[in-house]
Amino acid sequence: MKFCLLIIVLLVPAAFNAYGQYSEAQNPDSVINQATHDTSGVNYLVVTAVKVTFNNANSGRIIAEKALDLAQELNYKRGQAEALIVLSMSFQFLGDYPQSIRSALDAIAINKEMKDPFSEITNLSSVGLVYLNLGQYTQAWQYLKSALEIDKDINGTYTSGFALSIFGDAYNYLNKPDSAFYFYKMAYEKMNRYHKEGIHSPGFILQHLGGGYAQKKEYDSALKYYNESILFSNRIGDKLNTSTTQVKIADIFENKQQYDSAFFYSRQAMENAQALQGKREMMEAGNSLAGLFRKKQKIDSVLFYLEIANEMKDSLYGPDKLNRMQLLVLQEQQNQTKLEQKQEQYRNRIRYAALISGLGVFLLLVFILLRNNQRKRKSNELLQKEKRNVEKAYSELKSAQQQLIQSEKMASLGELTAGIAHEIQNPLNFVNNFSEVNKELLEELKTERSKPEEERDDHLQNDLIRNVMDNSEKINYHGQRASSIIKGMLQHSRKSTGQKVLTDINALCDEYLRLSYHGLRAKDKSFNVKYETEFDPAIGKISLVPQDIGRVILNLINNAFYAALLPAEEKFRDAERKRDPTVWVSTKREGDKILITIRDNGPGIPDAIKDKIFQPFFTTKPAGQGTGLGLSLSYDIVKVHGGEIKVKSLSGGKTGTEFIIQLPVA
């Protein structure tokens, strides 16, 4: 019922501009006599009917009927639709629901004819609300959903706030208060978007939002919106919304056991409802007062107000009204069936015309296809020949690409070889040295043993034996070290099986850092770059393919050593004279990810090429020094492991580049 406040917001300002303020005390005859016999007169009658209806529903009905008659006489469609919706509103207040729906449906038919979706949303919502009040939820949902679908098509309107609010009422009837509150909030927010245009949230939206808070037992918030609703309603002379809101305020004070305040608001609600002649409002106020008097055990007053409430209930929902509603629903269904039949006949005519047109187009296409068929056969022969040439060229390109990839892998292996040789040389030197020492110790022991027993030094013999054993342990340790280095080299050189194993990331990074460093030192004796490490001991082992990830780490470390030796840009040159070329390698665990960071203090990567470095065959190295596949292969390997590589150039007066490898723990 409360949807009708929309009419006030949309229509009253226009009438004020044309006729100025009018008195609430004007009777229907006086209003009708003041109306001119033109469309302006229709507008005046409609707007006045709205104002009067919210004070006296029967007087409003009389004025609205006159507006409808005049609009029909003038064939003024918009005036007819507006008069019908005011009639629908007044019939609702008077409790004549069947006639209210009939008037709203007639208005909807005119809205469709005029292609006025804004008014159609309001009228559909009003029909839905009447069906809600009657407990006929299937019909109610049908009209409310139609209103919201139209609103979506026109991308949101001021009127849709009312449809959303009534949608919230529908959820309240279904005992879903959370869903109802969601739609009340949405309606309130949508209406408030128009504050800049001087339009304020109508009282019924404020009342609905207050009701949502009341259901959540947040009474302070509920009273805040209820009071705002009454202030708005009083400004426009709306006794309907004022009465309904006062009943709800009385309910809150009754729940808080503040009965004097509850009686005050219930009586005010009854006075406004009686002045309005609103039957539903008198029923609600009567039930509220009867409940309050029951608590005071004033039986006479209880019976008096219950009699009023029951009389209004019978008037609203009596057998006569229900029979008329059923007849109206049946008529509407029949009208809908006829409309669907006409639409189906129209669609059939369209299909027949489309079939004839399609047949003609088909014959034309057949002629064209037959004529072009021979040309296409010749074209296909040429295309097949070109296709074979392209496939051959593509095969050769793939073969060349595979050779380049293999060259990149072999280049990586070649860089490792020098480092591995250096790494193996150290433990072999230890093995040789300690073997020589053991030989000398054993010779000394043999000499001591050849002496007569009384001349032997037992303490010296024991020292010699202990030293031999200690040296043997060192020989064994360094032999194992050499063996592990060779094993790592073999793992790197042979083709990856793709088998993931638990691997110590810290050990893997440390091993490839040293192999890269010694490999570059072996190739260039002048190579002089420092390196620093910072490994997180809490990382533990993670599952990965060590040969593949090792290749990624080696490639990035080689690039970092190369970049650290490059000259700095001009703006960093003075500061760079003081720096030593350095590479930093660190590991860290963050949540479910392992971060491997490789940073250098070289000149950095220009922003212009930063997006290209992972592209195949792209390189900034001089010709012959790089294939441009290292970072591309590294990127693919990390992606296969479910990770990613990030790169950034340092700023803030620093130079250098930082590559971060992110790998998942699981």
In three-state form (DSSP H/G/I as H, E/B as E, the rest C), the secondary structure along 597-654 is EEEECCCCCCHHHHCCCCCCCCCCCCCCCCCCCHHHHHHHHHHHCCCEEEEEECCCCC
Distance, in Å, from the CA atom of 47 to the CA atom of 32, rounded to the nearest integer, reads 12
Task: Write down the pLDDT at residue 584.
Answer: 94
Task: Write down the pLDDT at residue 599.
Answer: 93
Structure tokens at 26: 């004007």
Beta strands in 241-378 (DSSP E): none
| Global confidence as pTM | 0.41
* Residues 6+ positions from 166 with CB-CB distance below 8 Å: 3, 125, 128, 129, 132, 144
Produce one character per residue of 398-424: b if its CB has 16 or more CB atoms within 10 Å, e if not.
eeeeeeeeeebbebbeebbebbbebbb
Structure tokens at 91: 């019939």
Low-confidence ranges of the chain (pLDDT < 70): 1-26, 153-163, 193-201, 318-344, 346-347, 400-423, 425-426, 484-497, 568-579, 617, 623-628, 650-654
Task: Write down the pLDDT at residue 5.
Answer: 37
Task: Write down the pLDDT at residue 259.
Answer: 86
Distance, in Å, from the CA atom of 268 to the CA atom of 233, rounded to the nearest integer, reads 14
Choose among 286, 285, 278: nearest CA to 306.
286
Task: Write down the pLDDT at residue 531.
Answer: 92
* Residues 6+ positions from 96 with CB-CB distance below 8 Å: 321
Task: Write down the pLDDT at residue 20.
Answer: 35
Residue 514 CA to its chain's centroid (Å): 48
392: left (phi over 0), alpha (psi -120 to 50) or beta: alpha
Summarised one tens digit per residue, pLDDT across range 566-592 is: 875 544 444 544 568 999 999 999 888
Task: Write down the pLDDT at residue 264.
Answer: 92
In three-state form (DSSP H/G/I as H, E/B as E, the rest C), the secondary structure along 474-515 is HHHHHHHHHHHHHHHHHHHHCCCCCCCEEEEHHHHHHHHHHH
- Helix ranges (DSSP H) in 174-238: 177-192, 203-215, 219-235
Task: Write down the pLDDT at residue 381.
Answer: 81
Produce one character per residue of 327-356: b if its CB has 16 or more CB atoms within 10 Å, e if not.
ebeeeeeeeeeeeeeeeeeeeeeeeeeeee
